[in-house]
Structure 1
Amino acid sequence: MKPDTFEDAYARIQTATRARTQTEIATILGIKQSSISDAKKKNTIPDGWLVTLYRTFALEPDWILYGQMPPSRREGATLPSGVRESAGGYASPPSRVTVYTMACTDPEHGNWTREAQETIPLLESLNRPNLVVVKMDNCSMEPVIRRSAYVGLDCDDIRLRSGEIYALDVPGEGLVIKRVIRDLEKQRLAMLAENPAHQSLYLPLDNPGVATVGKAVWVIQEL
């Protein structure tokens, strides 16, 4: 199903939040006002907006994007007059997934351990059988992946391919997300940072202590 136009979805957001100006919408979403203009040019509602609106106002992403009723399925949610409908739902609500921290390590071996930080609603289109979601805790991959972004890792995809972004368990470091290059000439694994202020990591190709956790397949973040 093709989403409605940006203008239609934006109008529903304004109605539900009672926001009248772009400045008010930007404040609600925690974004820059220019991000709204950028989204309008692309004719799309960013996933980060959907997450914020669901968590703050209990608004269903399918209602925002497609106008499918009901606007909210959360018990006790209060919406402005003219928004709430009693019609049955036409689509399943987003499932909630656990978000893990990146820095938690086993004190004995130094390996990354999954420590839950929070849960977020996730559209079914972003889910997959062996998905792990982590929250980026540094700015080494900015602007591609910003600090505090939600990163989806496909843990079934662990065969390293040069140029792709992977999460690796580096003993003593925790979970490290970097762009990976297999340097066969020097027999090393280059883990490249996107942010020039951060150093890249170089490890031997046959380093048995480093384990690939999964490939980064999507990012939810503010523009």
Structure 2
Amino acid sequence: MAQLDFHTFFRRLEKATSIKSQQDLATALGVNRSAITQAKRRDAVPSKWILALSRQFGLNPDWLEFGKGMPQRAKADAAATASPAHATHSEHEQVASIPAIATVPKVYARLCAGGGSFDVEAAVVEEHIFRQDWLARKGKPGSMVLMDVFGNSMEPEIREGDMVLVDQSQKDIFAGSIYAVGLEETVMVKRLERKMGEVVLHSDNPDYSPIQVRGDELESFRVIGRIVWISREYR
């Protein structure tokens, strides 16, 4: 069976839902706009998107994916009930029990937890799946990205090779929280403390001294986002 192309998928959503733009679609799925752009470029639609949108908007998954039946699931179920020949327990009737999911892009911007500089290149290398309600409890799903960490300045809390979830919508500094920050061309993971006329970057590893950002340096300092989750692969 032919794979659903992005154009057909989007036209069906426009017809049956309030989604009228790619940004609307990204918001509904809880993903970054870049994920939509990539799907359009590949002219392919992840099956998890079909299930998530069917659940969210009460759509008939068969219609959304294959154009079969009626757009709304309630109407499709009613039609099936009226016809004994089709009165079977469809797997799509279980969609309502499937938690909504969201994809978070992992970007090629390894976060420095040491002292070296890094050439930041915000290119999406892969996507990871999370429960949307879990992400929503952490922050704003559409603003989240995953990044790798290297260096040992934040050990033992964050180790080299860990992957962190960064919510780019959380830029306000709360003392003691861990953030991804940029200073000139360096991207780092640090605990932040705001003082009069300066921002102090603290490492958990006592071998690293605090970094004081003040004066003209503040112009090249930026908070990328707060670290809301850490993933570690045991070796």
TM-score (norm 1): 0.50
Greater Rg, structure 1 or structure 2? 2
